[in-house]
């Protein structure tokens, strides 16, 4: 008997489900933040942790082969090997975080922002505008002093 072997399942055909999972993992590795449903995030989290752990533990050649067999973009593998391994060298597990955002309007699905821990957050449009304003004020003040 195989007790407690249930996994998180996505309600699609198996091939479509696998490809959706691979694409989400690749996007999360490339962009470090992905907005998705809670059930999809639960499926993706252990896979991302496993891929980064493989990169930390195995030799570089073995790790590259194993990661490229899963991700759909070679840049994701390159990012794991060059950036993420160094970032998470001292962290044994728990490399992703799912923060509840709300629900989707169309069907009411619960949305989460799935992100890598210690990820560099991209700036919003408001933050960029505020940064430009402060930079222009500093230039104006320094021009008046000179």
State the Cα torsion 123-126-128-130 to the nearest 10°. Answer: -130
Q: Which domains does the chain have, with CATH numbers?
A: 14-120 (3.90.1030.10)
pLDDT, tens only, 118-131: 877 666 667 777 88
36 burial type by CB count under 10 A (0-12 exposed, 13-18 middle, 19+ buried): buried
Q: What average pLDDT does the structure give for the chain?
A: 89
C-beta atoms surrounding 133 within 10 Å: 10
What are 69-79's pLDDT values in tens digits?
A: 999 999 999 99
**Residues 4-19, mean pLDDT to the nearest whole number:** 82
112: its two tokens:
């989460």
Structural contact between residues 93 and 48, judged by C-beta atoms closer than 8 angstroms:
no
Backbone angles phi, psi at 103, to 5 degrees: -125, 155
For residues 69-92, average pLDDT: 94
pTM: 0.77
**pLDDT classification of 112: cutoffs 50, 70, 90:** very high
- CA dihedral angle for residue 24, residue 27, residue 31, residue 32, rounded to 10 degrees: 40
| Ramachandran quadrant class, 6 (left: phi over 0; alpha: psi -120 to 50; beta: rest) | beta
């Amino acid at each position: 008997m195989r007790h407690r072997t249930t996994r998180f399942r996505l309600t699609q055909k198996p091939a479509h489900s696998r490809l959706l999972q691979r694409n989400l993992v690749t996007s999360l590795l490339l962009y470090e933040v992905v907005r998705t449903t809670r059930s999809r995030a639960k499926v993706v989290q252990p896979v991302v942790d496993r891929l980064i752990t493989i990169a930390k533990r195995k030799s570089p050649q073995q790790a590259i082969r194993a990661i490229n067999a899963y991700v759909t973009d070679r840049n994701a593998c390159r990012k794991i090997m060059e950036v993420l391994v160094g970032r998470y060298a001292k962290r044994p597990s728990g490399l992703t975080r799912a923060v509840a955002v709300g629900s989707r309007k169309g069907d009411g699905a619960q949305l989460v922002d799935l992100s890598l821990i210690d990820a560099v957050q991209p700036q919003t449009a408001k933050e960029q505008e505020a940064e430009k304003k402060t930079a222009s004020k500093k230039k104006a003040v320094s021009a008046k002093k000179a």
